[in-house]
Structure 1
Amino acid sequence: MRGQDELSFEEYATARTRRLYRTAYLLCGDPHRAEDLAQATLAKLFAHWRRASRMENLDAYARTVLTRTFLAEQRKWSLARRLGSLVGSPEESRHGDADLRVTLLTALAQLPSRARAMVVLRYWEDLSVETVAELLGCSTGTVKSQCSRALARLREQLGESSPYAPV
């Protein structure tokens, strides 16, 4: 990579690392693993920066890389590693309700990895059904049905009377 490309990548990485980390954290529920996922995503982007930097929507491409890295890793890890730590990062503990964070992360951790990815992308990242389907390489019907089932499961786990139950 040459000087201008390196500067371009550094600017992008500096501006987007925090957002990649937050999304990775919601996917895996472990702050250390989220850092690893965000770094792996940036490493993959760096390796193909010339092509990636010409993408029409680089953020969407980065989310695709992150999500696919997470899903590939999920297939390799044991159940104990998948569940990981549910404690938030020090940065996040200064913001938001800690009980809510732990409750939601615990509930998310109970979902299968692909369903969890769909819920995070659809409702946290606020992506359209079509975009999530494209990112995960499935049909829009699959996204709709899996999200519906995942939300029903979250409601069941959290209980309808829970203040944290999804609407």
Structure 2
Amino acid sequence: MEDEFSAFVAERAHALLRTAYALTGDRHAAEDLVQSALAKAFARWRRIEEPEPYLRRMIYHDFVSAWRSPRRRNEVSVPVLPDRAGGRPVDADTELRLLLRDALRQLPPRQRAVVILRYFEDLTVDETAEVLACRPGTVASQASRALTKLRQLVPQLDWSNDLVGGRP
């Protein structure tokens, strides 16, 4: 059992960390989410039939639950990005990624989770609803609200290519 778990962690931990980072926007918080999910999964490893979807669901639920907790950490936004190391100029793509990352952080946790699942993980509405334990209509409405907010926060992005409900 331990060898099987270790092999899974070696093979899939990076993908789980990438997803957690997309949710949190913070490497340390992402590592904490993944570590917590792996610790919980290890205790139940023999009973888990499909480990990756199970762990992803745990990561999303723990992320949303942490924001409901009265002990949640407050993020501090700054109006100006700090200087870059070495004074190197930032290219336009990097600047847009940073703007999008900051905009994602401003979304409520449920909306952020929906955006990550739908557009980063490329899940369907039904698959997203299953992961978040909600109805497909909730996923659709949360995605719509989130994309509206993101369009307001990052108008510089070319939003003509996003597919919401199959519409360009």
Q: Tell me if TM exceeds 0.5.
A: yes
Aligned partner (choices 157, 163, 168) of residue 163 of structure 1: 157
Tell me whether 1:31 sits opposite 2:31 in the alignment: no
Tell me whether 1:65 sits opposite 2:61 in the alignment: no
Deviation at 1:104, TM superposition (A): 1.2
Tell me whether 1:115 sits opposite 2:115 in the alignment: no
Number of aligned residue pairs: give it.
147
Larger Rg over CA atoms: 2
Secondary structure, in 3 states, of the residue corresponding to 1:14?
helix
Secondary structure, in 3 states, of the residue corresponding to 1:127?
coil
Deviation at 1:106, TM superposition (A): 0.3
Secondary structure, in 3 states, of the residue corresponding to 2:64?
helix
In the TM superposition, what whole-angstrom CA distance separates every residue of 1:85-140 from its partner, at most 9, and x where no partner exists? x99xxxxxxxxx43233111101011000110011011100111111101111100
TM-score w.r.t. length of structure 1: 0.80
Deviation at 1:163, TM superposition (A): 3.1
Structure 1 gaps of 5+ residues are: 88-96
2:7 maps to what in 1? 11
Contact kept in structure 2, 1:100 and 1:164, CA below 8 Å: no
Aligned partner (choices 123, 126, 130) of residue 126 of structure 2: 130
RMSD: 2.1
Distance in 1 separating the partners of 2:113 and 2:76: 13
- Give percent identity, aligned residues only: 44
2:166 maps to what in 1? none
4+ long deviations beyond 6 Å: none
Structure 2 gaps of 5+ residues are: 83-92, 163-168
Aligned partner (choices 74, 82, 88) of residue 80 of structure 1: 74
Deviation at 1:78, TM superposition (A): 3.5
Distance in 1 separating the partners of 2:96 and 2:158: 7
Deviation at 1:66, TM superposition (A): 0.9
1:151 maps to what in 2? 147
